[in-house]
A and B are shown apart, each in its own frame.
Chain A
């Protein structure tokens, strides 16, 4: 079964850091581009970041550029999102999503992990 499982969310103070993980199983992880998408409480989906299959090409939304870093360990079938200098507006459920061919079509999603930034 194709599966993505996020972890690492929690409560963090403004200015703090957190690292999210997304464990992949049931498919050949190292051939897929991967993305992070977030959803603030009661709001819509917002694209955050993407990474190509070998980890050499990244891009970020303006709102997180310079604060968040996406990476992957293909040997561990795991995607990461390092989040630094967190702000209240970063509070959201963070989803990892599999991208078929780098065409931004997300054919598999994790269940999400909640990040709350609050003092």
Chain B
């Protein structure tokens, strides 16, 4: 199972919006609506911020949103804040085995 493809980095100024893509195949991202996104600050465990493509867990700000088109999912962070600076990973259900994206480092300029 190959890793999902994410850009290694993304950046934006406070208040701006940034979108991170996650490209897979019809066997993972394109085949199921079980795409999730995780935020990881340095030295910390990952935290779920989006699940089932576009749903937010309780406590996650509505500045975080998700979408999917074909084999590509996207995470958008609107109204960037300093605390959004972190690594972001996508994940998709892919049958018996799991698969993550390579991760995107989001920098708030």
Chain A residue contacts of B48, Cβ below 8 A: 105-107
* Beta-carbon contacts under 8 Å, B87-101 to A: 87, 89, 91-94, 96-101
Cβ-based interface call for B12 (8 A): no
Count class of interface residues, chain B:
20 to 34
CB-CB under 8 A for A45 and B38, given A106-B48, A109-B46, A110-B45: yes
* Beta-carbon contacts under 8 Å, B69-98 to A: 87, 89, 91-94, 96-98
Counting chain A CB atoms within 10 Å of each CB, which of B36, B45, B87, B99 scores highest? Answer: B45
Cβ-based interface call for A50 (8 A): yes
Contact check, A106 vs B38: say whether CB atoms are below 8 A apart.
yes
Contact check, B89 vs A45: say whether CB atoms are below 8 A apart.
yes
Contact check, B51 vs A45: say whether CB atoms are below 8 A apart.
no
User: In the complex, which residue of chain B has the Cβ closest to the Cβ of A62?
Assistant: B1
Cβ-based interface call for A95 (8 A): yes
Interfacial residues, chain A to chain B (CB-CB below 8 A): 35, 37, 44-47, 50, 59-62, 95, 97, 100, 103-107, 109-112
Interfacial residues, chain B to chain A (CB-CB below 8 A): 1, 3, 32, 34, 36, 38, 40, 45-48, 51-52, 57, 87, 89, 91-94, 96-103
